[in-house]
Structure 1
Amino acid sequence: MKKKQAANYLEYIPVHNPATEFTQDSAGIITLKKEWTGFYSRIAQKFFHKPRFSKIALDGYGSFIWKSIDGCKDVYALSKELDEAFPDMEKSLPRLIKFLEILRDHQFIMWKDQTH
């Protein structure tokens, strides 16, 4: 039996999805724009008056990470920058990885040169 290799997120390089629209306010907070498409989303929009677009405001940590993603830094480098900027943050690496997974799941970022 083949064993499934564990993902080494420290080597992954996140890049912004070019289709993702975002804005930055005067305080440096990033707001991402998400369009809801698909059959069930259209039903929810038509019958339950759900919006076609959602605006997701990131917190200070998320905004810092979003602005730090440049397509060259891997997750390890991002974690070091996060530790320097927020030295009192607990469990910064697991939080960073979870945040990046959520961004990827919602197609706000992709992994560079990977098919994950």
Structure 2
Amino acid sequence: MSQTEKKSENYLDRIPIRTEHIHWSVEESGLVTLDVENKGVFHRFAQKFFHKPKVSHIHLDPMGSFVWCLIDGSRDILSLSALVKEQFGEKASPLYERLSKYFHILHSYGFITFKK
């Protein structure tokens, strides 16, 4: 893919996919908790000497939980944003910036990938 092709790609057209190694659950309230296993030398050291947990529990807010449950590997970010707007209305504003940042964070932590 050339530089011009990369620049012309619209972030909202990307299709997020949850990574398989992330375990998650939905509480009765509808909020999602991601369970992330802390692996690696540094984490083992921190667990042993600083009593850090082997698994971190990441609690998503209502909008993040709603979006997480909708990620199915077939919907792009634009179609997810329509569902978020329908569910949360003005509370989701600024919608596209917020969702773009949310997916950027999920991707940077390895919680999601994007379909090629």
Identical positions, percent: 38
1:110 aligns with 2:107: no
2:89 counterpart SS class: coil
1:3 to partner: Cα distance: 5.1
Could you say what secondary structure the match of 1:43 adopts?
helix
Give unpaired runs (5+ residues) of structure 2: none
Q: Which protein is richer in helix relative to its size?
A: 2
**Count of equivalent residues:** 112
Corresponding residue SS for 1:87: helix
d(CA) in 1 for partners of 2:38, 2:21: 13
Q: How far off its partner does 1:93 sit?
A: 0.9
After superposition, what is the alpha-carbon deviation per residue over 1:30-82, rounded to whole angstroms, capped at 9, x for unaligned? 10001111121111111111111100111100000001111110011111111
Matches within 5 A, 1:11-26: 11-26=13-28
Letter in 2 for 1:66: W
What stretches of structure 1 of length at least 5 have no aligned partner?
none
Rounded to whole Å, the distance in 2 between the matches of 1:102 and 1:41 is 21
Residue matched to 2:95: 92
- Pick from 62, 65, 71 the counterpart of residue 63 of structure 1: 65
**Partner Cα separation in structure 2 for residue 102 and residue 49 of structure 1:** 26
What TM-score, normalized by structure 1, do the two folds share? 0.88
